């Protein structure tokens, strides 16, 4: 069909090519992609360089960090359809865990990381269990409040630095000869990329199995999902907690790189910007979300030479994009007809959340 919309459908073409490729080609392409991203800090191309800020730093924050957070938020917003406007709270909890434990105890980064993730998940359960019974706008308002509460609590507790925050956060110990110092963002970027790949792997596994099917059902019709015997609250809390864990891990790593944190870094703008990444890239589609986050984080840095008006230019670019592609850059596939030979969940085995 010479449908005009189909001609621009990068995703479908790429997906078809991928599905028709033999296994060796998929594996080698994946390896090439991953290798490319690990080598990215060495790329010295005037097109992608960021005048006004260090390219390698930009790769870690904001680009890499926003990609990781957008993937995490996509589990909540894109997969299960829960609008979370306070996602930054979990990032803050991870960062503060690193900052407090790093400055007050002898624990190093790798020991604090699981604690930071665990605390974010606990916060996810505490916030999720009572609030996920709410729907739509109400949930958005409660999560927005939660994001602000975490920041304001941090501002008001003198023991954790109050509005001045915490300084002197230790860097991670050396790992395979890579030294983590303030001057060299490359090792941080590699750790972050490794986290991101692990999260992508986890999300893809879950989405193809029973939890993914439950999230699909909940997003499409919460009531009917319950009628099918889906414990919707359990799966919603799980989506929330997994998203929180991703943000918490990001927060721990972020704090160990930036070395000092203040509460105002974790304001509402961050939540909104990450949500914008998800929507801009294509809500629900993992690759779209990654691309969207990378673009949204990178563009303001790339046009930093414009100095003052750059945010205006950025805003105009966003408005234009959302008019041209209202479903995002790489929207989720709109399924009209299925491949009759596709494998169902029950045939392909399953991973279950107990």
Partner 1 sequence: MRLEIKDLHVHYGKIEAIKGISVTVNEGEIVTLIGANGAGKTTMLKTISGLRPVSSGQIIFNGEDISKMPAHKRADLGLAQAPEGRGIFVGMSVLENLEMGKYNRKDRKSEMSEDLERVFHLFPRLKERISQVGGTLSGGEQQMLAIGRALMARPKVLLLDEPSMGLAPLMIANIFNIITEINKTGTTILLVEQNAQQALQRAHRAYVLEVGHVVKEAKASDLLNDPAVRAAYLGTGAH
The CA dihedral of 197, 199, 201, 204, to the nearest 10 degrees, is -130
Note whether 224 binds partner 1 by CB under 8 A.
yes
As measured in angstroms, the least distance from the Cβ of 296 to partner 1 is: 26
Note whether 232 binds partner 1 by CB under 8 A.
yes
Q: Buried b vs exposed e over 24-51: b needs ≥16 C-beta within 10 Å?
A: eeeeeeeeeeeeebeebbeeeeeeeebe
For residues 43 and 228, which CB has a smaller minimum distance to partner 1 in the complex? 228
Note whether 3 binds partner 1 by CB under 8 A.
no
- Using alpha carbons only, what angle is made at residue 319 by residues 318 and 325, rounded to the nearest 5 degrees? 85
> Which residue in 16, 21, 181, 220 binds partner 1 (CB under 8 A)?
220
Rg (CA), the chain: 21
Note whether 230 binds partner 1 by CB under 8 A.
yes
C-beta of residue 280 within 8 angstroms of C-beta of residue 296: yes
For residues 93 and 225, which CB has a smaller minimum distance to partner 1 in the complex? 225
Note whether 80 binds partner 1 by CB under 8 A.
no
DSSP string computed for 199-243: HHHHHHHHHTSHHHHHHHHHHH-HHHHHHTT--HHHHHHHHHHHH
For residues 80 and 256, which CB has a smaller minimum distance to partner 1 in the complex? 80
Beta-ladder partners of 261:
166
Note whether 15 binds partner 1 by CB under 8 A.
no
Site string for partner 1, 321-340 (x = CB under 8 A): --------------xxxxxx
Distance of CA 149 to the CA centre of its chain: 21
For residues 46 and 229, which CB has a smaller minimum distance to partner 1 in the complex? 229
> Which residue in 36, 312, 345, 348 binds partner 1 (CB under 8 A)?
345
Note whether 231 binds partner 1 by CB under 8 A.
yes
Q: Which of 326, 25, 275 is nearest to 140 (CA)?
A: 275
Residues 87, 69: Cα–Cα separation, whole Å: 9
For residues 130 and 168, which CB has a smaller minimum distance to partner 1 in the complex? 130
Note whether 77 binds partner 1 by CB under 8 A.
no
> Which residue in 223, 305, 308, 354 binds partner 1 (CB under 8 A)?
223
Note whether 217 binds partner 1 by CB under 8 A.
yes
Could you tell me how many residues make up the chain?
Answer: 354
Task: Enumerate binding residues for partner 1 (CB under 8 A).
Answer: 210, 213-214, 216-217, 220-221, 223-232, 335-340, 342, 344-346
């Amino acid at each position: 069909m010479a449908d005009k919309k189909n001609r621009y459908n990068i995703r479908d073409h790429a997906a078809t090519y991928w599905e028709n490729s033999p296994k060796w080609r998929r594996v080698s392409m994946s390896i090439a992609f991953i290798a490319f991203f690990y080598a990215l800090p060495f790329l010295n191309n005037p097109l992608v360089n960021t005048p006004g800020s260090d390219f390698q730093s930009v790769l870690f924050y904001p680009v890499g960090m926003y990609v990781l957070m957008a993937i995490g938020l996509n589990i909540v917003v894109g997969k299960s359809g829960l609008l979370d406007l306070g996602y930054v709270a979990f990032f803050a909890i991870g960062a503060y865990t690193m900052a407090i434990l790093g400055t007050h105890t002898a624990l190093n980064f790798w020991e604090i990381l699981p604690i930071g993730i665990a605390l974010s998940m606990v916060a996810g359960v505490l916030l999720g269990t009572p609030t996920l019974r709410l729907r739509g706008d109400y949930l958005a308002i409660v999560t927005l409040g939660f994001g602000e509460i975490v920041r304001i609590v941090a501002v008001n507790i003198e023991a954790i630095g109050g509005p001045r925050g915490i300084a002197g956060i230790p860097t991670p110990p050396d790992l395979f000869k890579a030294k983590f110092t303030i001057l060299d963002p490359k090792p941080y970027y590699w750790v972050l990329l490794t986290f991101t790949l692990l999260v992508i792997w986890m999300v893809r596994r879950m989405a193809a199995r029973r939890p993914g099917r439950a999230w699909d059902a909940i997003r499409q019709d919460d009531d009917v999902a319950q009628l099918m015997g889906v414990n919707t609250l359990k799966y919603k809390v799980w989506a929330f907690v997994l998203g929180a864990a991703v943000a918490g891990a990001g927060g721990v790593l972020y704090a160990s790189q930036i070395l000092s944190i203040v509460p105002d870094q974790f304001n509402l703008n961050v939540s909104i910007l990450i949500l914008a990444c998800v929507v801009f890239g294509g809500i629900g589609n993992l690759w779209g979300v990654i691309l969207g986050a990378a673009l949204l984080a990178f563009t303001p840095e790339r046009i930093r030479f414009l100095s003052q008006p750059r945010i205006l230019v950025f805003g105009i670019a966003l408005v234009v994009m959302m008019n041209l592609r209202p479903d995002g850059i790489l929207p989720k596939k709109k399924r009209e007809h299925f491949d009759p030979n596709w494998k169902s969940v029950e045939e392909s085995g399953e991973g279950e959340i107990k």
